[in-house]
Amino acid sequence: MIDLPRYPLATLPTPITDAVRLRAALGGPSKCPRILIKRDDLTALGLGGNKARKLEFLIADALAQGAHTVITTGAVQSNHARMTAAAACIAGLRCVLVLTSRYDVPLVEGNLLLDRLFGADVRFVPSEDPMLAVGRDEEVVANVVREEAAAGRRAYVIPVGGSSAVGAIGYVTGTAELVGQLRGMGAAPTRLYFGSGSRGTQAGLTLGAKLSDAPYKLWGVAVSAGEPEKIERAKKAANEAAALLGVSARVDRDDLFTDQGFIGEGYAIPTAAGLEAIDLLARTEAILLDPVYTSKGFSALLYHVRAGDIPPTDTIVFLHTGGVPALFTREFAATRT
């Protein structure tokens, strides 16, 4: 199905955990559906996560275009930025990260510490609301592109979250992998939950579900505001990805439902339900969720299970998209002292 250039970065296939201890803690098989966790936190690539699948196609595209440098953007604790820096090391590319932060000199911890270890050239764009610096960071990116050109280097710009059409292909192939595994297990889950940010994952999962005839309904859980613009972004990425793949499937606004009920106060602001999800999954399965994405996604799953919205005879899947370095920040530690 996929003959686009792909640069190997991830350790695939990722495993699936049958969360039997979590299920027991939620009342057992008479009350709680079977919960499978697709472990894309275990992709490898600088501590893993969903960006590894996108980067396999993005880095291959950068190399095909003769790039010397990759540039990307994000919040200061961006998992995507950290994994881009790791991928650049492996591919022999220079990496410049343009990161928004509330502070002129942010604490070197979590993902930012790893950015430093991977040798990325980090530029900060101070902003009260890191999510609203978009536009200002584009200006900085354009300057970096010019700087690189002046030094004789061709730059490849990866959009925030790696959520371009090329990046979305990572979750078209990721879906084929998951659906194959589920068939092998004889499982036909009714829902697939995942935390949804810049929407490249959703774009790939949505197109992939059509192409792989997936049994589940996609249950994206928003972790930040800005729904109308994000639906358009997902739709564009998905349909451009379909064009790249030469398939006739099309993705519509109606295919791109995202649950808005678990954002809390905003991007990267932990919720009580998310913090509880982190504890519960750590203590039952020794699986680590992150405070920004997966804990909010998982809190939606827990809410629906506890509300009895999902028949206990069903199977559901949670796509664990990674994010573990954000646990090692003072901000998260402050929730545990």
Ligand X SMILES: *Cc1c(COP(=O)(O)O)cnc(C)c1O
Taking the complex as a whole, the smallest distance from the CB of residue 132 to ligand X amounts, in Å, to 17
d(CA 232, CA 228): 7
CB-based closest residue to ligand X:
323
d(CA 304, CA 297): 11
Taking the complex as a whole, the smallest distance from the CB of residue 150 to ligand X amounts, in Å, to 32
d(CA 261, CA 221): 8
Taking the complex as a whole, the smallest distance from the CB of residue 74 to ligand X amounts, in Å, to 9
C-alpha angle 102-58-222 in degrees, rounded to nearest 5:
50
d(CA 162, CA 199): 9
State the residues that interact with ligand X by CB under 6 A.
49-50, 79-80, 161, 163, 195-202, 290, 293-294, 321-323
Taking the complex as a whole, the smallest distance from the CB of residue 49 to ligand X amounts, in Å, to 5
Please report how many Cα atoms fall inside a 13 Å half-sphere around the Cα of residue 254, on the Cβ side: 1
Q: Can 198 be counted among the known catalytic residues?
A: no
Taking the complex as a whole, the smallest distance from the CB of residue 290 to ligand X amounts, in Å, to 5
d(CA 222, CA 191): 16
Q: Which is nearer to ligand X, 72 or 196 (CB)?
A: 196
Cβ neighbours for 160, distance < 8 A, ≥ 6 positions apart: 72, 73, 74, 80, 134, 198
Per annotation, catalytic residue among 30, 78, 101, 198? 78
Burial class (CB in 10 A: 0-12, 13-18, 19+), 6: middle
Q: What are phi and psi of 319, to 5 degrees?
A: -90, 110
Written as six digits, the tokens of 255 are: 């295919």
Q: Which is nearer to ligand X, 223 or 310 (CB)?
A: 223
Q: Which is nearer to ligand X, 141 or 268 (CB)?
A: 268
Q: Which is nearer to ligand X, 32 or 280 (CB)?
A: 280
Taking the complex as a whole, the smallest distance from the CB of residue 118 to ligand X amounts, in Å, to 16
d(CA 69, CA 72): 10
Altogether, the residues listed in the chain come to a count of 337
Q: Which is nearer to ligand X, 50 or 148 (CB)?
A: 50
Name which of 57, 39, 18, 15 is nearest 288 in CA terms. Answer: 39
Q: Which is nearer to ligand X, 32 or 47 (CB)?
A: 47
d(CA 200, CA 89): 23
Q: Which residues are catalytic?
A: 78
